[in-house]
Structure 1
Amino acid sequence: MHTRHSSPGSPAPSPSGPGPRNHRRHRRRAGTLGTLLAVAALLASACTAGGSTHSGSPVAEAALAALPQSTPAALAPYYGQKLTWRDCGVPGFQCATLRAPLDYAKPEAGDTRLAVTRKKATGPGKRLGSLLVNPGGPGGAAIGYLQQYAGIGYPAEVRARYDMVAVDPRGVAGSDPVECLDGKEMDAYTQTDFTPDDEKETGELVDAYKRFAEGCGADAAGLLRHVSTAEAARDMDVLRAAVGDDKLTYVGASYGTFLGATYAGLFPDRVGRLVLDGAMDPSLPARRMNLDQTAGFETAFQAFAKDCVGQRDCPLGTKASEVGGNLKAFFEKLDAKPVPTGDADGRELGESLATTGVIAAMYDEGAWAQLRDGLSSAMRENDGAGLLVLSDSYYERDADGRYTNLMFANAAVNCVDLPAAFSTPDEVRRSLPAFEKASPVFGEGLAWATLNCAYWPVAATGEPRRIEAKGAAPIVVVGTTRDPATPYRWAQALSRQLTSSRLLTYDGDGHTAYGRGSTCIDATINAYLVRGTPPTRDKRCA
């Protein structure tokens, strides 16, 4: 599961397709939906500094000596490498390139190059080491996130004591990115009808998934086999050594919690202070994860519906109980007849793009007013421009029709991490009642969205598993009660699995909790990061 969706028009998180996703913005501080990651890929391209490894050097030998005896000697050059930091072209930041083995089982077979950035601790106070941050996805550009938000948006007391560090995971943005379709092809893909009404439309959806998968595999078949979360977590340990830290200090949001929990499971003795915000449950198979997420989006939508009817002019009705039915009816109208948007490339607002726009706004209640305006324009004035803006923010499409590689990396990681939720259209059809029960508005589309990994060019290498990380230092797991993309029950489940976990609950809306405006949440996490004081078990904040 992870944070978003790579399927046509369907933007929810799912391990078989795309999944959770906090990444791009840390709520209210980021402005318009999608702003941060929209520029992330541009910034990542500035990080081209080289790193070096020194096989057989005293540094490499010392690095190997510090690893478990089972560690292959071929990993010594990676753990012993010295990063060469250079100016990024972004004030206050330095960049470097980290080398990691493409295949950890065969480290002698070749490298992958990972883009890294840092902002050095500002002081005052003693430097505590490096704080690695990951905004989610999978596929979120961590470098763009750090340079545009976290490097200045994290609390001053945290930035004073830590070097703020980010690495684009393998296959993402500046790190040997997976590429699948060009802009025009992605435009067509995102407009595919993902609620097929007959065999013809079902065939068109399957063809779209196949073209997407074939595009991803055309030039990167070898890379696609090695973009798993487990391999990305191993890369984090190589980075930990390269920046000179004995233990990893880390804040991961959404899919970043799965990455952090995986690291803890692999290296429990190297866990420093870990915060997992908007937690995922690694023990779930893809189908269950998608079904849970569908229910999560329904929970968020019901909160939006209640808020909408409380406003002066809600376009979806005057009673919360009628909002869902009215929105569903509007989607059906768009399925039959899209509305104009004024888009320079001629795109109209059909059911797929409209649904994506609505789901995008569910990630942050700060976008609800924008969603109401977009719905009002589309439903009353036959103008779909507002919802198209929300949809484009979700897919990270810029005004020139270019997409970041977010959706490509999202599918690549999800499809290798877990076996596909469904193998055939018939399996999806049999599951539609369960998905539509979980969400009458979004269930059908999100069920079909999980079919994309059925056609992936490489087989999944991961599987559902509990992560206990026995022996790890205290790990703070954060859950939001009405989180759409990572349902609160996942945070509860992960907290039960991790033997050293402390569950921190945010009673609120939106995706993730840290930096959302809760003084209680922020103060609790800051105390843990700066003073090493974990919260009491099962602490709750509003």
Structure 2
Amino acid sequence: MPLRAAVSTGRLAAVSTGRLAAVSTGRLAAVLAAALCALLLAGCAVGPSQRPPVAVRGEQLPASPPPTATEQPADPDALPRTEPVRGGPAFTDCTTEVLDGLAADGTPAPAGRELQVGCARLTVPADRSSPALGPARLGLTRVTTPGAAADLPALVVLGDVGSDGSARAAAGLATRLPDAVLERYQVIGMDRRGAGEDLLDCAPADARAALLDADPGGSDEAAMTALLERSRAIVQDCYLMLSGTLTSFRATTGADDVESLRSALGVARLNLLGIGDGADAAAAWAARNPDSVGRVVLDGPDDPTLDEPARTEAATVAAEAAFDAFATACTARPDCALGPDPRTTVRALVDRLEVTALPTGDGDAVTAGATLRALRATLSRPERWPELEAALAAADAGDPAGLVRILAPLGGPRGRFDADLATTCNDSRVRVSPGEAADLAGQWADRFGLFGVPAAQQLVACGPWPSGGPEPPASPQGENPPPVLVLGTAGDPRSPQTGAERTAERIGSGRVVRWQGAGTGAYPRTPCITEVVDRVLVDGRAPAEAVVCPP
């Protein structure tokens, strides 16, 4: 159930301030159809949405280049010194707005923690290789303790596209950070392309609904071909709306954006925390800009040595492991709402919804496909597992309200679906045909009881997208950066724990920490992880050897 409501036959086009202007794409599509098909078949190069210059919160480009990077310490475990911020946009106070939003989302600041939040935007090139495409603007959030100095060293947070945006993620993280980190840094979140204030919203509502609601029982070639056509409609509409900038929603562009922010802040070396696919972008930045690397933590990166379908297969193994961790946490209590065997309960619910979707009372319904999407998305956030448990149990009893609340920010109007799909497809180079996807669905349905068929359907959804570009180099170019801490979580539904190991090898100076927990983003959720990361961020010391942390 992707919550198709609130979309009229007049199409919606995104503009820079997040407002929507109604436009009719029917006549435009008719005029441009032939040229568009030719461009798509040619695998044309495209990039992010463009925004006309407007006066917004303190956006600013640096007037001069930042200072030259200092020499790396001779001690192999020592990290570069932190530097005061020397520039950047002027932040305007948005404390009440942001903290109230976090509280409404169930993540309020703990009692006794006072935070001050500022908001701004950063202007970056839409595509560094194509200056004619103009600028893009990304939301920034600066979080400090009240009265903190404006030139405190910056800790930049780059979050997962599937979240509400890095700027909001930074504020949520600041509510949980150790005091020593908040005293040392100003925490600056920068939105990824297509997320947060720059939300990507270009897919036709019916095509988006078809992918969100994809029947997990539809695993044959005909069903996969139907999904391919729906995805083709998304590519066509997004291409028309974004005026040739579609492929900039990807990790490498995120790496360029990080470098733009470093320059704007006026520092030679940047301290950075990347989470989920934000860690992928941060890893790309570190490999391409080793002299700009300060104290860097990559929390849950994907395996950079894999492409499709191996990458999706590895992520599906991880997602099934995350569900097992969720089920174990539930059954550890005597009142688990999903009974003694949550997997059997959930599988039976999905099977029933394949036959008859659960009406929501507004003409819509929760489908089996949407239920699995809500499940997998929420597994990444263990703090929301009680909510997920209750929502699944209520749906099993005939009440869809809990699942509706979970699904609304995923696939509803102004949801995260478009940016997540664009980033996933743009970051892969291999395209899978409907026949190949059907074969994989048959294999994965047996191996992965919940997420096997949806994973194969996700592969075919990327079929019409332009290729993700050339394969990245197998090893770093030039000198390695200073030691980079790489965290891998055993039950991360987004990526396998081996992603941390392969990322560390590719960077050349990675120090791996394996956490036997679950969810996306290990820091600062356990004392062991927190101690290791704080030694990096506060003390400037990387672990000399690999570390394993218990659940």
TM-score in terms of structure 1 length: 0.77
How much has 1:334 moved relative to structure 2? 0.8
Maintained 8 Å contact 1:477/1:494: yes
Distance 1:85 1:212 in 2: 37
Q: Which residue of 2 aligns with 1:385?
A: 401
Cα shift at 1:478: 0.6
Give the C-alpha shift of residue 446 in structure 1.
1.4
- Give 2:185's aligned residue: 162
Partner of 2:94: 89
Offset, 1:138: 5.7
Q: Residue type matched to 1:350 in 2?
A: T
Is 1:403 the equivalent of 2:419?
no
Number of residue pairs aligned between Structure 1 and Structure 2 = 465
User: Aligned Cα RMSD in Å?
Assistant: 3.3
SS in 1 for 2:245: helix
1:65 and 1:106 map into 2 onto residues whose CA distance is 27
Please list every run of 5 or more consecutive structure 2 residues that lacks an aligned counterpart in the other structure: 4-53, 70-85, 97-115
The match for 2:439 is 430
- Structure 1: stretches of 5+ with no match in the other structure: 1-6, 10-45, 67-80
Match of 2:27 in 1: none
1:217 equivalenced with 2:222 (yes/no): no
The 3-state SS of whatever aligns with 1:506 is: strand
Alignment partners' CA distance in 2, 1:338 and 1:230: 40
Asked whether the 8 Å contact 1:126–1:161 carries over to 2, the reply is: no
Which residue number corresponds to residue 448 of structure 1?
A: 457
- Aligned-partner residue type, residue 349 of structure 2: F
1:122-181 per-residue CA deviation (whole Å, 9 max, x = no partner) reads: 68899662110012126751112223x134332221121112112223333324x43213
| 1:260 paired residue number | 282
Deviation at 1:253, TM superposition (A): 0.8
Alignment correspondent of 2:194: 171
The offset of 1:498, in angstroms, is 2.6
1:461 partnered with 2:485? no
2:435 matches 1:419? no
Rounded Cα–Cα distance in structure 1 between residues aligned with 2:61 and 2:414: 34
Query: How far apart in 2 are the matches of 1:169 and 1:255?
Result: 10
Q: Hey, what's the Cα distance between the residues in 2 that align with 1:88 and 1:280?
A: 35
Separation in 2, partners of 1:361, 1:97: 29
What does 1:99-498 correspond to in 2, within 5 Å?
Answer: 99-107=123-131, 110-120=134-144, 129-137=153-161, 140-147=164-171, 149-175=172-198, 177-181=199-203, 186=208, 190-196=212-218, 201-312=223-334, 318=340, 320=341, 323-342=342-361, 345-379=362-396, 381-393=397-409, 395=410, 397=412, 402-404=413-415, 406-422=416-432, 424-456=433-465, 458-463=466-471, 465-468=473-476, 470-498=479-507
Note the C-alpha offset of 1:519.
1.2
Give the whole-Å Cα distance in 1 for the aligned partners of 2:295 and 2:147: 19
Q: What residue in structure 2 maps to residue 536 of structure 1?
A: 544
8 A contact 1:121–1:164 mirrored in 2: no
8 Å contact 2:143–2:188 — kept in the other structure? yes
Q: 1:465 to 1:282 in 2, by over 3 A?
A: farther
Corresponding letter in the other structure for 2:300: G
8 A Cα contact 1:417 1:463, kept in partner = no
Corresponding residue number in structure 2 for 1:511: 520
- Give distance in 2, aligned partners of 1:440 and 1:210: 28
Q: Equivalent residue of 1:507, what SS? A: strand
- Alignment-derived partner of residue 34 in structure 2: none
CA distance in 1, matches of 2:143, 2:402: 36
1:524 equivalenced with 2:524 (yes/no): no
Q: Residues 234 and 376 from structure 1, CA distance in 2 versus in 1: closer, same or farther, beyond 3 angstroms?
A: closer
* C-alpha contact 1:139 1:407 (8 A) present in aligned 2: no
Looking at structure 2, the residues matched to 108 and 182 of structure 1 have their Cα atoms a distance apart, in angstroms, of 28
Amino acid at match of 1:441: L
Structure 1 residues 294-303 or 218-227, which shifts more?
Answer: 218-227
- SS of the equivalent of 1:451 reads helix
Moved more, 219-228 or 248-257: 219-228
1:43-97 residue CA offsets vs partner (Å, 9 max, x unmatched): xxx992243458xxxx53x55999xxxxxxxxxxxxxx96441414335333333
* Aligned counterparts of 2:144 and 2:345: Cα–Cα separation in 1: 51
Does the C-alpha gap of structure 1 residues 382 and 257 become closer, same or farther in structure 2, counting only changes over 3 Å? same
Q: Measure the CA separation in 1 of the matches of 2:150 and 2:237.
A: 49
Amino acid in the other structure paired with 2:274: G
Task: Give the C-alpha shift of residue 438 in structure 1.
Answer: 3.9
Equivalent residue of 1:427, what SS? helix
Q: Secondary structure at the match of 2:480?
A: coil
The separation in 1 between residues aligned to 2:166 and 2:203, in whole angstroms, is 22
Give, in angstroms, the shift of residue 388 of structure 1.
2.8
Q: Which residue of 2 aligns with 1:42?
A: none
Q: Do the aligned partners of 1:349 and 1:388 also contact (CA within 8 Å) in 2?
A: yes
Answer yes or no: is the 8 Å Cα contact 1:168–1:174 preserved in 2: yes
TM-score, structure 2 as length reference: 0.76
Task: Specify the code of the residue in structure 1 equivalent to 2:541.
Answer: T
In structure 2, the CA distance between the partners of 1:465 and 1:186, relative to structure 1 (3 Å rule), is same
CA contact (8 A) 1:180 1:408 kept: yes
Work out whether residues 8 and 194 of structure 1, in 8 Å CA contact, stay in contact via their aligned partners in 2: no
Identity of aligned residues (%): 26
Q: Is the 8 A contact 1:118 1:163 kept in 2?
A: yes
Task: Confirm or deny: 8 A CA contact 1:8 1:193 kept in the other structure.
Answer: no
Secondary structure (helix, strand or coil) at the match of 1:463 reads coil
Opposite residue 375 of structure 1, the aligned amino acid is L
Q: Is the CA contact 1:130–1:249 (under 8 Å) kept in the aligned structure 2?
A: yes
CA separation of 1:441/1:339 partners in 2, compared to 1, >3 Å: closer, same or farther?
A: same
One-letter amino acid of the counterpart of residue 247, structure 1: R
Residue type of the alignment partner of 1:410: D
